[in-house]
C-alpha cells in the first residue's frame, strides 16, 4: 500500500507540467562544486555552487542522470554518468586508500562511453581534461580546500560557455531518456545477462526486476526503504535480494523519486528521530497546510501556524473539508533511520475530513488557560521538547514522536510515555516545574484517556480552575499552590519557595509533608500585614480542605498529573488580575 501510494504520487506529479519532479532515469541532486573547463578541456576555475541560506551553506540542485546503488567491499566499482563525488572525479583526498580505486573506475567509465556521447563537445572536453592532466590545476586552485572539508562533495564539469553542468546538456539527457526506453521495453534484449523479467507486485506490469533499490537521505546517511540482506535467511526459492519481492525498475524509480521529493519539500516534518511525510491522492490545500498544524511557525512569521489552525477550525465547522463527492485519500508516513534500512514508524490512510476532525480534537484537548506570552497553539515539537531532558530536541525519548503522531491521526489514546515523561520533567525542573505547555499536555492526556476508558467517578479537566473537581490530586495541587502563595506574600524577597524543596515529595507522597506545611502556614500568615488578605487566604484554604477527607499516602501517575493541573490552575487564578490570560 505504501509503495502503491508513492507510485501514484509520482504519476500525479509527473503528469503536472508545472511539477519539478525528476523524470524517469534522472534525479534532483546537489552539486557542491563545478569544475569549469573550456572546449579543449583546459581548467578555468573551481565554482562553488553553495549559497548561504540562514546559517547554512546549501548547494544548488541539478537534474542529473540517476545515481546507482553501491554497497559492499566492491562499491568503488560503480560510478555515475558524468558526475560523482570528489573521490571518483579527482581521486581525492589522496589520504583515503579508496580514492585511487574510485578514480580508476571513473576513468574507465569515460573510456566506455558510447560513441554517441563522445561526439558531444562537453563530453569531449571532459576526456581532454584528463588527457591533458589538468587535475593538478584543480587541486592548486584557491578554494579546493573547501571541497576537502565536506563529508560529501559531489562534483561535475561545466563548459565555460554553458550555464548548466555537462550532465545537463541536451545530448546527455537525450541519451539517458533513450537508454531508459530501451531497458523498459521487454521485447528488447536484456540490459545485461543478469537482468530478470517478472511481474511487478505493485503495478502488475511486466518488466525488468530491480535487484537493488535506490537509497533515500532520511538523515545524514542514506538508507533503503526496501532491501533484502543476501545469504542471511531472507532468500526463498532461490531468489536473492530484490527478486524476493519483484518490483520492476520503473516502479522502483517512481516510489524512490516520490519519497525523495517529499523529503526535500515542505511536505515533511522532523520531530525527534521521526521524519513524517504526507501527501494527497489529489492536489489539495490540506496537503499544503498539514505541516503548519504540527510544526513550529517560521521566525519571520510567528503567526502563520496559528492562522492555519484557525482556518482548520473554521473548515471543520463549516464543512469545507467534508464533501460527500470527494473521497480522495490522504497519506501520512512516519520514518526513522535504522542500521541498514529505513524503519516505518507509522502509516496512516484516511479522508481529508477525517484527519481534519482528529487534528481539531487534538488542539481542543490541549486548550488550557495560559499567559498571553504563550503561543496560542502548541506544535508537537514544542510539546515534546518540554518533556525532554534539559528541554533539548536531541533528548526527546526515542519512538515517542511517532507514537504521539499516530495517536493524533487515529484519534486514539496518547502514549503513556507522554505522561510519564512530563511528570519526570516536572520533578527535575526546580525553576519552572509546571509550565503551561506541560500542563496542557497532561490535561490532554488525562481527558483523552478517560474519554476512551470511561470512569463514572472521573470528571473531565476543564481549561481553567474548577473548584468542584472531585480529584484528590487536583485539590492537593490547589492546596500546594495556595501554601506557596502564602509563603511568597509573607516573604516577598524569598528566592526559593516550597515548590523547589517539596514539590516532588508532595505529589508522590502527600502525607509525608502536607501536615508539616499546614503548620508552617500559620507562621507565614502571621507575617502578612494586610489582614483582609489573610482572611481571604484562610477562606480559600478552608474551601480546599473541605473537599479533602485526609492526606493520602501515595498518588498514582494519573493523580500526580491532576496534582500538576490543580497546582497550575490555582497559580493562574492568583494572577488573573495581573495578567491578560487567554481562555479558550
User: Based on the domain organization, do 180 and 226 belong to the same domain?
Assistant: no
What is the total count of domains within the chain?
4
Domain membership flag for residue 287:
yes
Distance CA 139, CA 86 (A): 11
Domain membership flag for residue 539:
yes
The whole-number average pLDDT for the span 173-202 is 69
User: Of 392, 439, 442, which Cα lies nearest the Cα of 417?
Assistant: 442
Is the pLDDT confidence value at 299 over 80?
no
Range with the largest mean pLDDT of 56-60, 138-142, 516-520: 138-142
C-alpha cell at 116: 554517441
Share of the chain above pLDDT 70, in %: 88
Last residue of a domain, one of 265, 300, 315: 265
User: Based on the domain organization, do 349 and 270 belong to the same domain?
Assistant: yes
User: Based on the domain organization, do 478 and 432 belong to the same domain?
Assistant: no
Q: What is the pLDDT of residue 493?
A: 74
Q: What are the b/e assignments for 351-362, b being 16+ CB within 10 Å?
A: bbbbbbbbbbbb
Distance CA 231, CA 329 (A): 39
Is the pLDDT confidence value at 525 over 50?
yes
368-417 pLDDT per residue, tens: 999 888 888 888 888 999 999 888 888 888 788 888 988 999 999 999 99
Is the pLDDT confidence value at 62 over 90?
yes
pLDDT class for 535, splitting at 50, 70, 90?
A: very high
Distance CA 174, CA 391 (A): 52
Distance CA 544, CA 477 (A): 10
Q: What is the pLDDT of residue 140?
A: 94
Distance CA 120, CA 124 (A): 6
User: Based on the domain organization, do 326 and 391 belong to the same domain?
Assistant: yes
Q: What is the pLDDT of residue 579?
A: 46
Return the number of other C-beta atoms located less than 10 Å from residue 526's C-beta.
9
User: Based on the domain organization, do 421 and 372 belong to the same domain?
Assistant: yes
User: Based on the domain organization, do 381 and 409 belong to the same domain?
Assistant: yes
User: Based on the domain organization, do 442 and 575 belong to the same domain?
Assistant: no
Is the pLDDT confidence value at 354 over 90?
no
Is the pLDDT confidence value at 194 over 70?
no
Last residue of a domain, one of 184, 199, 219: 184
Higher pLDDT, 472 or 220: 472
Q: What is the pLDDT of residue 323?
A: 52
User: Based on the domain organization, do 503 and 570 belong to the same domain?
Assistant: yes
Alpha-carbon distances, residue 232 vs 69, 229, 235, 338 (angstroms) = 20, 6, 7, 17
The whole-number average pLDDT for the span 61-75 is 87
Which of 233-242, 289-298, 498-507 is the least confident region? 233-242
Domain membership flag for residue 430:
yes
300-340 pLDDT per residue, tens: 565 666 666 677 666 655 555 555 445 678 999 999 887 77
pLDDT class for 164, splitting at 50, 70, 90?
A: very high
Contacts 24+ apart (CB under 8 A), 182-188: 183/208, 183/249, 184/24, 184/208, 184/249, 184/250
Is the pLDDT confidence value at 292 over 50?
yes
Q: What is the pLDDT of residue 230?
A: 66
Is the pLDDT confidence value at 532 over 50?
yes
Domain membership flag for residue 151:
yes
Q: Which helix (H) or strand (E) holds 57?
A: strand 56-58
Burial of 442 (0-12, 13-18, 19+ CB in 10 A): buried
Is the pLDDT confidence value at 17 over 70?
yes
Domain of 140?
32-184
Distance CA 168, CA 93 (A): 26
C-alpha cell at 104: 580508476
Is the pLDDT confidence value at 11 over 60?
yes
The whole-number average pLDDT for the span 514-528 is 85
- 138 and 90 Cβ atoms separated by less than 8 Å: yes
Q: What is the pLDDT of residue 186?
A: 43
Is the pLDDT confidence value at 187 over 60?
no
81-104 pLDDT per residue, tens: 999 999 999 999 989 999 999 999
419-457 pLDDT per residue, tens: 999 999 998 887 778 999 999 999 999 999 999 998 888
Residue 407 C-alpha from the chain's centroid: 16
pLDDT class for 132, splitting at 50, 70, 90?
A: very high
User: Based on the domain organization, do 224 and 276 belong to the same domain?
Assistant: no
Residue 397 neighbours by CB under 8 Å, 6+ apart: 272, 387, 388, 417, 421
Last residue of a domain, one of 418, 449, 480: 449
One DSSP character per residue, 28-46 reads EEEESEEEEE-TT--EEEE
Q: What is the pLDDT of residue 303?
A: 62
Domain membership flag for residue 456:
no
User: Based on the domain organization, do 487 and 527 belong to the same domain?
Assistant: yes
Per the prediction, the chain carries an average pLDDT of 85
Q: Which helix (H) or strand (E) holds 215?
A: strand 215-216
The whole-number average pLDDT for the span 578-582 is 44
Domain membership flag for residue 463:
no
Sign, Cα dihedral of 502, 420, 361, 266: positive
User: Based on the domain organization, do 401 and 315 belong to the same domain?
Assistant: yes
User: Based on the domain organization, do 97 and 50 belong to the same domain?
Assistant: yes
Report helix, strand or coil for 148. Answer: helix
Amino acid at each position: 500500500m505504501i509503495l502503491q501510494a508513492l507510485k501514484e504520487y509520482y504519476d500525479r506529479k509527473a503528469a503536472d507540467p508545472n511539477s519539478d519532479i525528476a523524470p524517469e532515469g534522472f534525479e534532483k541532486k546537489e552539486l557542491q562544486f563545478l569544475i569549469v573547463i573550456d572546449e579543449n578541456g583546459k581548467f578555468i576555475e573551481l565554482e562553488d555552487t553553495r549559497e548561504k541560506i540562514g546559517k547554512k551553506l546549501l548547494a544548488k540542485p541539478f537534474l542529473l542522470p540517476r545515481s546507482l546503488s553501491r554497497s559492499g567491499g566492491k562499491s568503488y566499482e560503480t560510478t555515475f554518468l558524468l558526475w560523482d563525488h570528489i573521490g571518483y572525479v579527482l581521486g581525492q583526498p589522496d589520504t583515503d586508500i579508496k580514492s585511487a580505486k574510485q578514480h580508476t573506475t571513473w576513468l574507465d567509465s569515460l573510456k566506455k562511453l558510447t560513441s554517441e556521447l563522445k561526439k558531444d563537445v562537453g563530453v569531449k572536453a571532459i576526456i581532454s581534461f584528463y588527457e591533458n592532466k589538468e587535475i593538478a590545476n584543480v587541486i592548486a586552485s584557491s578554494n579546493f580546500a573547501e571541497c576537502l572539508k565536506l563529508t560529501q562533495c559531489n562534483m561535475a564539469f561545466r563548459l565555460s560557455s554553458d550555464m548548466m553542468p555537462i550532465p545537463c546538456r541536451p545530448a546527455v539527457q537525450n541519451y539517458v531518456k533513450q537508454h531508459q526506453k530501451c531497458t523498459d521495453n521487454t521485447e528488447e534484449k536484456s540490459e545485461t545477462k543478469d537482468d530478470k523479467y517478472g511481474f511487478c507486485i505493485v503495478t502488475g506490469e511486466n518488466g525488468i526486476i530491480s535487484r537493488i533499490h535506490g537509497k533515500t537521505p532520511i538523515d545524514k546517511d542514506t538508507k533503503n526503504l526496501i532491501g533484502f540482506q543476501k545469504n542471511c535467511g531472507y532468500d526463498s526459492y532461490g531468489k536473492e535480494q530484490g527478486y524476493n519481492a519483484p518490483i520492476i525498475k520503473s516502479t522502483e524509480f517512481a516510489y524512490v523519486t516520490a519519497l525523495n521529493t517529499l523529503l526535500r519539500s515542505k511536505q515533511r516534518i522532523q520531530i525527534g528521530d521521526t521524519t513524517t511525510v504526507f501527501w494527497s491522492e489529489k492536489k489539495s490545500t490540506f496537503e499544503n497546510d498539514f505541516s503548519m498544524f504540527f510544526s513550529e511557525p517560521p521566525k519571520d512569521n510567528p503567526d502563520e501556524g496559528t492562522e492555519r489552525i484557525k482556518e482548520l477550525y473554521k473548515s471543520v465547522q463549516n464543512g469545507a473539508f467534508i464533501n460527500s463527492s470527494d473521497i480522495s485519500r490522504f497519506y501520512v508516513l512516519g520514518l526513522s533511520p535504522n542500521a541498514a534500512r529505513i524503519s516505518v514508524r507509522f502509516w496512516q490512510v484516511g479522508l481529508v475530513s477525517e484527519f481534519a476532525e482528529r487534528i481539531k480534537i487534538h488542539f481542543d484537548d490541549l486548550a488550557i488557560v495560559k499567559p498571553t506570552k504563550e503561543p496560542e497553539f502548541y506544535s508537537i515539537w514544542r510539546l515534546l521538547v518540554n518533556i525532554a531532558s534539559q528541554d533539548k530536541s536531541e533528548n526527546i525519548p526515542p519512538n515517542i514522536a511517532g507514537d504521539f503522531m499516530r495517536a493524533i491521526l487515529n484519534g486514539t489514546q496518547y502514549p503513556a510515555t507522554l505522561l510519564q515523561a512530563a511528570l519526570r520533567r516536572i520533578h527535575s525542573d526546580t525553576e519552572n516545574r509546571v509550565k503551561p505547555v506541560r500542563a496542557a499536555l497532561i490535561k490532554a492526556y488525562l481527558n483523552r484517556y478517560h474519554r476512551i476508558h470511561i470512569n463514572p467517578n472521573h470528571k473531565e479537566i476543564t481549561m481553567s480552575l474548577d473548584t468542584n473537581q472531585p480529584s484528590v490530586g487536583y485539590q492537593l495541587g490547589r492546596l500546594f499552590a495556595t501554601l506557596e502563595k502564602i509563603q511568597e506574600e509573607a516573604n516577598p524577597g524569598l528566592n526559593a519557595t516550597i515548590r523547589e524543596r517539596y514539590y516532588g515529595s508532595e505529589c508522590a507522597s502527600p502525607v509525608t509533608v502536607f501536615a508539616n506545611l499546614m503548620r508552617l502556614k500559620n507562621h507565614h500568615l502571621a507575617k502578612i500585614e494586610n489582614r483582609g488578605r489573610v482572611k481571604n487566604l484562610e477562606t480559600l484554604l478552608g474551601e480546599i480542605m473541605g473537599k479533602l477527607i485526609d492526606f493520602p499516602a501515595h498518588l498514582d501517575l494519573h493523580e500526580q498529573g491532576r496534582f500538576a493541573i490543580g497546582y497550575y490552575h490555582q497559580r493562574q487564578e492568583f494572577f488573573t488580575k495581573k495578567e491578560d490570560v487567554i481562555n479558550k
